[in-house]
Amino acid sequence: MLPLASLAANHASRVLPYLVVLAAIGSAHAQALPDPSRPVLTPVWETLSCPVRTAPETGDAASLMAFEQRQRYRDVLGTYLARLPEQVDMALLMPVPSVRVAQIADTYAAARDGGRSHEGQDVFAPRGTPIVSATAGLVYEMSGRFRGGRSVMVLGPGARRYFYTHLEAYAEGLREGQWVEAGTLLGYVGNDGNAATTPPHLHFGAYDFDAASCRFRAFDPLPLMVDRLPSAEAAAR
Ligand SMILES: [Zn+2]
């Protein structure tokens, strides 16, 4: 082996463990930028500056994930939010169109294990039932790293975040940074993640953005949810 190559190999063997640690912290997930063809609609968000946070020293997986999430908010969230309309949606399209809103048993804020409360609504449907976006927006993240397993996060008008989780599979070709309309296929109902012991369902969460703290806060989406309109009505909207 040439001395230089040997040096490089030796260096790699010393550096590799640190890289593994960094990957475990989550830097492996590079955040896609939003579709560059989208116009800037709400320029105020372009200057969003989320605070620098320090990594938890002995964090559990959940706090490391939250840290990583906020790091990426710092990096790219403003570029996403600026490309969304300022006005929030007054209605959310039922994300499992084959189920009616009236069939949802309201479980928002119900107690969950670990002292958590249920930050969303569950829509039960057979495995593989299509899930569509409740709003227009930009796909911010597609990942299986959440408690709910395979998930799609969409940023919508007015800096709201919508969370679709426990997916069986993603819609073919869907990608981070992509613009979607209300009704665009996102994926299929499953029971991934912490829904492994429950019947397949979509967990649908909705969040408002608090710019002062750079955090999203859950709200109950149910009062805003509407059934899919007949196509003639939808066309006239
Ligand atoms: Zn749920």
CB atoms within 10 A of CB 220: 17
Given a cut of 80, is residue 25 above it in pLDDT?
Answer: no
Going from the Cα of 190 to the center of ligand 1, the distance in angstroms, rounded, reads 12
99, 173 in Cβ contact below 8 A? Answer: no
Per-residue model confidence as pLDDT tens digits over 175-214: 999 999 999 999 999 999 999 999 999 999 999 999 988 8
Going from the Cα of 17 to the center of ligand 1, the distance in angstroms, rounded, reads 37
CA 56 – CA 48 distance, rounded (Å): 23
Name the residue ranges covered by the structural domains of the chain. 89-236
Pull the structure tokens for residue 99: 């189920």
Chain centre distance of CA 159: 13
pTM of the model: 0.82
Going from the Cα of 172 to the center of ligand 1, the distance in angstroms, rounded, reads 24
Going from the Cα of 120 to the center of ligand 1, the distance in angstroms, rounded, reads 6
Going from the Cα of 52 to the center of ligand 1, the distance in angstroms, rounded, reads 31
Going from the Cα of 102 to the center of ligand 1, the distance in angstroms, rounded, reads 17
Going from the Cα of 11 to the center of ligand 1, the distance in angstroms, rounded, reads 47
Residue 107 exposure: Cα atoms within 13 Å on the Cβ side: 17
CATH top class, domain 89-236:
mainly beta
Per-residue model confidence as pLDDT tens digits over 114-142: 888 999 999 999 999 999 999 999 999 99
Helix, strand and coil in the chain, % to nearest 5: 30, 25, 45
Going from the Cα of 39 to the center of ligand 1, the distance in angstroms, rounded, reads 34
**Per-residue pLDDT band at 67 (split at 50, 70, 90):** confident
Going from the Cα of 131 to the center of ligand 1, the distance in angstroms, rounded, reads 15
